[in-house]
Structure 1
Amino acid sequence: MRKSKLIELNNVGIVVENIDNAIKFFQEIGLELEGRMMVEGEWAGRVTGLGNQSVEVAMLVTPDRHGRIELSRFVSPEPVSDHRTAPVNSLGYLRVMFRVDNLDELLNRLTKHGAEIVGEVVNYGNIYKLCYIRGVEGLLIGLAEQLDTKTVTNILKNNK
């Protein structure tokens, strides 16, 4: 039997309470709304293990069309736990990181939408300027502006 090969990271799923606010927030970062629909019925519950479910889903895509975020608002069954304000050292999936071209300008826009910087903006070895923010609904988002492309390329080549 032929061994399966990874093709791509298709998307990262995030469950939210207010899908409209979440869409606006991720659009402000620079993602584009690719589609929005209801996913309902027993067939969907067979995939998730939740049984008969009703979920509003919005798919957002990065400008390069390679990365996606799938926002889900569960109508039924209702969410059973909330990890949105967990600290960065919590177990499980925690944050999404985006590379941006002007971190300071983006932070100015996002704070107007209620985002708060966690800690501070730091310079990582003159390679990245980066920070974590608490965005819409307290979601943890990483933002990084690449400062030195040559150093990053050399590090990646040397670690192969």
Structure 2
Amino acid sequence: MTLQRMDNVGIVVEDLAAAVAFFTELGMEVEGRAEIEGLFADQAVGLDGVRSDIAMMRTPDGHGKLELAQYHSPTAIGDGSHNPPPNTLGLHRVMFAVDDIDDTIARLRRHGAELIGEVAQYKDIYRLCYLHGPSGIVLALAEEIGR
């Protein structure tokens, strides 16, 4: 057997509508929405009484996908920290390539994004930054400049 592809990255959010608006502003498209509940959901995730809403977001090229999920039951849990530092254990960040990093940051700030550090330049190749998105999601942006 061989791996076929990476299908999506799942992210649990507090406010699905706000997360969809944020990632739409970034340039992703809603591929579909669904209400998830029932025995199959309980079995798949290993929780009892799962009831959630999801939105599948897709990148413009159709290859990258995020599954955003808002749990209604059981209640989503967390440590209350919505701004974990980049060296926190676990899923580190999701990176997106953009055409204009400054414009992208400005548009995402209107949806609550906050820079973690600053926009940095790596040689004459990339401009990069990390930001906090909805529900403390760490996002990275990269603008290729060395063509």
Q: What interval of TM-score do these two structures reach, taking the shorter chain for normalisation?
A: over 0.9
Partner of 1:108: 106
Farther off after superposition, 82-91 or 124-133: 82-91
More helix by share: 1
Partner of 1:54: 51
Partner of 2:86: 88
Contact map agreement 1:14 1:71 (CA 8 A) in 2: yes
Classify the secondary structure of the residue corresponding to 1:20.
helix
Contact map agreement 2:84 2:136 (CA 8 A) in 1: no
5+ residue gaps, structure 1: 150-160
- Report whether the alignment pairs 1:147 with 2:117: no
Contact map agreement 2:116 2:132 (CA 8 A) in 1: yes
Contact map agreement 1:126 1:147 (CA 8 A) in 2: yes
Question: Normalising to structure 2: TM-score of the pair?
Answer: 0.94
Structure (1 or 2) with the larger CA radius of gyration: 1
In 2, Cα distance between equivalents of 1:79 and 1:112 = 26
CA RMSD of aligned residues (A): 1.2
Equivalent residues, number:
146
- Following superposition, the deviation at residue 13 of structure 1 comes to 0.5
- Following superposition, the deviation at residue 112 of structure 1 comes to 1.9
- Following superposition, the deviation at residue 128 of structure 1 comes to 0.9
5+ residue gaps, structure 2: none
Aligned residue identity for 1:64? D
Farther off after superposition, 106-115 or 27-36: 106-115
Classify the secondary structure of the residue corresponding to 2:118.
strand
In 1, Cα distance between equivalents of 2:107 and 2:8 = 25
- Following superposition, the deviation at residue 6 of structure 1 comes to 1.4
Partner of 1:34: 31
Partner of 1:64: 61
Partner of 1:74: 71
In 2, Cα distance between equivalents of 1:18 and 1:99 = 25
Question: Normalising to structure 1: TM-score of the pair?
Answer: 0.87
Q: What are the superposed Cα offsets for residues 74-129 of structure 1, whole Å, 9 maximum, x if unpaired?
A: 01011122464211111111311000011111111111222111111000121110
* Higher RCO (Cα < 8 Å, 6 or more apart): 2
Contact map agreement 1:85 1:138 (CA 8 A) in 2: yes
- Following superposition, the deviation at residue 7 of structure 1 comes to 1.4
Partner of 2:131: 133
Contact map agreement 1:84 1:140 (CA 8 A) in 2: no
- Following superposition, the deviation at residue 136 of structure 1 comes to 2.0
Contact map agreement 1:43 1:52 (CA 8 A) in 2: no
